Amino acid sequence: MSAPAKTRIAVIGAQGRMGQLACACIERTPDLELAARILREDDIGTCLRESSSEIALDLTRAGLGASHGRLILESGQRAVIGTSGLQPSELQDLKAQAEEAQLGCLVVPNFCLGITIQQLCARLALEFLPRSDRDDVQVSLEEQHHLEKIDSPSSTSLRTAALLEADGAPAISIRSERLEGVLANQTVAFKWGAETLRLSHQVSSREAFGPGILLALNHVQTLSGFELGLESAFGVRMSEEGTWGGFCPAP
Positions annotated as catalytic residues are 145, 149
- The separation between CA 150 and the C-alpha centre of its own chain, rounded to angstroms, equals 17
CB-based contacts of 104, cutoff 8 Å, min separation 6: 78, 79, 98, 220, 221, 222, 223, 224, 225, 227
What is the rounded CA–CA span in Å between residue 38 and residue 99?
26
In terms of Cα–Cα distance, which of 58, 63, 61, 32 is closest to 47?
Answer: 58
Is the sign of the CA dihedral 86, 92, 97, 98 positive or negative?
positive
CA atoms within 13 A on the CB side of 166: 16
- Give one word for 191, left, alpha or beta, with left for phi > 0 and alpha for psi -120 to 50: beta
